[in-house]
């Protein structure tokens, strides 16, 4: 049977991960270590925080359902009445709201779940932390590198807890792969390959009347003013440069995060970036590059490639046309380790089955991303994917997008977070914000 071409949806990816989880090849020694680790006491009945969901689309509602297992969802907010109506079916006793700033004024709300489109993440997250609330924010954490720098400062100044929704950090497969790589199991790390799904390449699209019940101007927020096009909203907003960065910042914020975790650069970044588009976008259509290849070099000499590939669904796995599953492959002088959702494999079985030494470097351990967030709300310790890690993980994606758009090799200083000798590129670290939706708003 020939695999059927398919643009993978988030739901399909999650379903495929669940289907393959039972067949995971995690070694027994690692599973025994996880089972022996002491469990964190759950929040007591008197400690459960009140939660508000901002951004009631499908992903927002899904994440809020997870959060509601650890607290009480008392409010939900969206600029689209259709999304509010869907949220009401899940939380009939919670209060619907349309302006996120009104949510921040409520002193009975302790936690914000941010499920808005990418170009709204930073404003909502900043406002929440400044209002004394802890935040679980969907990834990618920011729209620009400048947003991330500012967000990290707000998180530090307010001492609030922010968990970025890069849930692969709380998956044992990914942690094992990174721990093994960081401890030299495959020898000297030389190259990391990341494969992502291609984005959508369609258009041009027709302008249509704004649907009743949608505040289109507020939905646009800081983004340029434009007529309503239905393909700009909901799931497909991520394929527009105005609001996101395509699959490079969507899936890339997951897999490039793991690449940087394994490299040990997740609070730093690359020093050189080059990129090339593999197909031209259609005028009047989606504007974020759909097919691309990006290459990074780090200060320690490790190289990192990130390539989009056409996606196919085959036996529950997500594969490209050559049978390559999307995921992360670490290549060293003594072998390789590949990891994706529900699967880890290596060039030799003993690379996985041999336990790490007693004094080995061990990484932050979490087996439940949402629970880790709520545990940290109680302890005031930083979660596994805090604001700085979330910022750095999407910054590497933003750098790739900028290299694609500028069409030349870029040199980057990850300490100063600016380009080296390239003032023109520095202008793209931030984007112009449409008034009144500027940082002054929050």
- 66, two tokens: 């997870």
Q: What is the pLDDT of residue 120?
A: 98
CA–CA distance, 393 with 391 (Å, rounded to integer): 6
- Three-state DSSP class for residue 282: coil
pLDDT at 76 over 70: yes
Confidence of residue 1 (pLDDT cuts 50, 70, 90): very low
Which part of the chain is CATH 3.40.50.720?
41-168
Give every CB contact of residue 81 below 8 A, 6+ residues apart in sequence.
Answer: 212, 213, 214
CA–CA distance, 87 with 109 (Å, rounded to integer): 18
Q: What is the pLDDT of residue 316?
A: 47
Q: What is the pLDDT of residue 52?
A: 98
For every residue of 343-380, DSSP letters joined together read EEEESSTHHHHSPPPTT-------S-HHHHHHHHHHH-
Q: What is the pLDDT of residue 14?
A: 40
pTM passes above 0.85? yes
Q: What is the pLDDT of residue 31?
A: 80
Q: Average pLDDT in the 31-60 region?
A: 79
Confidence of residue 2 (pLDDT cuts 50, 70, 90): very low
Q: What is the chain's Cα-based Rg?
A: 21
pLDDT in tens, 403-442: 999 999 999 999 999 999 999 999 999 999 999 999 988 8
Domain 169-364+387-441 in CATH 3.90.1010.20 = no
Give every CB contact of residue 307 below 8 A, 6+ residues apart in sequence.
Answer: 193, 194, 195, 196, 292, 293, 294
Task: Give the C-alpha distances (Å, rounded to integers) separating 208 from 13, 54, 228, 287, 326.
Answer: 31, 26, 6, 19, 36
Q: What is the pLDDT of residue 35?
A: 75
Helix (H) or strand (E) holding 340: strand 335-340
Q: What is the pLDDT of residue 28?
A: 86
pLDDT in tens, 184-236: 999 999 999 999 999 999 999 999 999 999 999 999 999 999 999 999 999 99
Cis peptide before 11 (omega within 30 of 0): no
**Phi, psi (deg, nearest 5) at residue 75:** -155, 155
pLDDT in tens, 84-111: 999 999 999 999 999 999 999 999 999 9
Lowest mean pLDDT among 10-19, 330-339, 386-395: 10-19
**Phi, psi (deg, nearest 5) at residue 35:** -70, -30
Confidence of residue 44 (pLDDT cuts 50, 70, 90): low
pLDDT at 384 over 80: yes
CATH class of 41-168: alpha beta
Q: What is the pLDDT of residue 102?
A: 97
Lowest mean pLDDT among 32-36, 106-110, 144-148, 406-410: 32-36
Task: Give the C-alpha distances (Å, rounded to integers) separating 106 from 47, 49, 155, 202.
Answer: 18, 13, 20, 42
Lowest mean pLDDT among 142-156, 211-225, 304-318: 304-318
Confidence of residue 324 (pLDDT cuts 50, 70, 90): confident
pLDDT at 279 over 70: yes
Q: Which residue has the higher pLDDT, 43 or 340?
A: 340
Which part of the chain is CATH 3.30.360.10?
169-364+387-441
CA–CA distance, 298 with 269 (Å, rounded to integer): 7
Alpha-carbon dihedral angle through residues 279, 282, 285, 291, given to the nearest 10 degrees = 0
Looking at every residue in the chain, the average pLDDT score rounds to 91
The answer to whether 347 touches 331, Cβ cutoff 8 Å, is: no
């Amino acid at each position: 049977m020939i695999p059927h071409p398919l643009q993978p949806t988030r739901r399909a990816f999650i379903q495929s991960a669940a289907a393959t989880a039972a067949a995971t090849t995690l070694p027994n020694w690692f599973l025994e270590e996880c089972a022996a680790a002491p469990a964190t006491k759950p929040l007591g009945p008197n400690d459960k925080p009140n939660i508000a969901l901002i951004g009631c689309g499908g992903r927002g509602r899904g994440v809020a359902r997870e959060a509601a297992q650890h607290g009480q969802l008392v409010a939900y907010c969206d600029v689209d009445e259709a999304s509010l109506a869907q949220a009401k079916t899940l939380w009939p006793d919670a209060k619907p709201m349309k302006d996120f700033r009104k949510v921040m004024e409520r002193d009975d709300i302790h936690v914000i779940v941010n499920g808005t489109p990418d170009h709204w993440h930073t404003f909502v997250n900043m406002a929440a932390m400044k209002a004394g609330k802890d935040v679980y924010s969907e990834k990618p954490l920011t729209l620009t590198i400048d947003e991330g720098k500012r967000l990290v400062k707000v998180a530090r100044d307010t001492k609030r807890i922010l968990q970025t929704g890069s849930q692969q950090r709380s998956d044992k497969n990914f942690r094992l792969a990174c721990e093994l790589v960081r401890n030299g199991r495959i020898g000297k790390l030389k190259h990391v390959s990341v494969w992502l799904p291609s984005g959508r390449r369609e258009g041009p699209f027709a302008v249509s009347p704004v649907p009743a019940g949608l505040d289109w101007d507020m939905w646009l927020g800081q983004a340029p003013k434009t007529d309503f096009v239905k393909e700009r909203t909901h799931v497909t907003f991520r394929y527009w440069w105005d609001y996101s960065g395509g699959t490079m910042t969507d899936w890339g914020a997951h897999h490039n995060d793991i690449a940087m975790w394994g490299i040990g650069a997740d609070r730093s970044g690359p020093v050189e970036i080059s990129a090339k588009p593999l197909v031209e976008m259609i005028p009047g259509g989606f504007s974020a590059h759909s097919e691309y290849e990006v290459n990074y070099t780090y200060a320690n000499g490790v190289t990192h490639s990130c390539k989009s590939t056409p996606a196919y669904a085959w036996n529950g796995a997500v594969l490209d046309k050559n049978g390559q599953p999307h995921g992360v492959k670490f290549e060293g002088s003594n072998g390789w380790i590949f990891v994706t959702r529900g699967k880890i494999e290596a060039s030799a079985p003993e690379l996985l089955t041999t336990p790490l030494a007693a004094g080995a470097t061990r990484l932050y351990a979490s087996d439940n991303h949402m629970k880790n967030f709520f545990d940290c709300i109680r302890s005031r310790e930083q979660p596994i994917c805090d604001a700085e890690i979330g910022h750095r993980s999407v910054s590497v994606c933003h750098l790739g997008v900028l290299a694609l758009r500028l069409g030349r090799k870029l040199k980057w200083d990850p300490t100063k977070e600016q380009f080296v000798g390239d003032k023109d590129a520095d202008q793209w670290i931030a984007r112009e914000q449409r008034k009144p939706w500027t940082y002054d708003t929050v």
